């Protein structure tokens, strides 16, 4: 029976991608890439990092993540290395990831509604300040002293020497 890591290696080779290329794309060390392909899960970092390494590998090759991650989980459990703590961390990380992805669209709409509301509030405060504070201090047209320039209205003739 072909193991998970062997299937990944075959998919990589079928696509003509070298380990070095995969290393550059994923930023994972070649040692860790080999550990994934060899099914040496003990050679990978623990907790959520293990699954993240596999996810990076899958993305770089353009493989169907949910299907391959499910196969990885089954292979990892079959290896006997899986613990209940691993499952807890994996579930936690998946929930965080799904909440971040799912919440982006709804939060964006709420943010724009908030921006619009704050803009309207700022406009109303500006109109209030203009009407109640600034406008009463301005001179009115048609009233005495309404000219903005100080001094007499008509210039005095300058005498010739």
Do residues 58 and 12 make contact, with C-beta atoms less than 8 angstroms apart?
no
Per DSSP, helices labelled H in the chain are: 4-14, 19-26, 30-38, 48-61, 65-78, 84-129
Number of domains in the chain: 2
- Global pTM? 0.50
Same domain, 75 and 96: no
Measured CA distances, 31 to 47, 57, 87, 103, 130 (Å): 18, 13, 24, 36, 69
Residue 39 inside a domain? The answer is yes
Question: pLDDT, tens digit, for every residue of 85-103?
Answer: 555 666 666 777 677 665 5
One pLDDT digit (tens) per residue for the chain, 161 residues? 458 889 989 999 999 999 999 999 999 999 989 988 888 878 887 777 888 888 898 999 999 988 998 888 888 778 776 665 555 666 666 777 677 665 555 678 888 899 999 999 999 999 999 999 888 888 877 655 555 555 555 666 667 76
Residue 31 inside a domain? The answer is yes
């Amino acid at each position: 029976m072909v193991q998970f890591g062997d299937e990944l290696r075959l998919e990589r080779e079928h696509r003509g991608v070298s380990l070095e290329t995969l290393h550059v794309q994923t930023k994972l060390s070649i040692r860790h890439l080999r550990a994934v392909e060899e099914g040496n899960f003990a050679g990978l970092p623990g907790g959520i990092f293990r699954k993240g390494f596999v996810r990076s590998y899958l993305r770089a090759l353009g493989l169907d993540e949910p299907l391959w991650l499910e196969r990885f989980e089954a292979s990892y459990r079959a290896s006997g290395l899986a613990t209940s703590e691993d499952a807890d961390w994996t579930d936690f990380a998946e929930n965080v990831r799904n909440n971040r992805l799912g919440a982006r669209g709804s939060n964006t709409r709420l943010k724009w509604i908030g921006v619009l509301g704050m803009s309207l509030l700022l406009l109303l405060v500006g109109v209030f300040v203009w009407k109640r504070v600034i406008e009463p201090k301005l001179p009115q047209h048609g009233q005495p002293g309404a000219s903005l320039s100080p001094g007499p209205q008509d210039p005095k003739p300058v005498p010739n020497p």
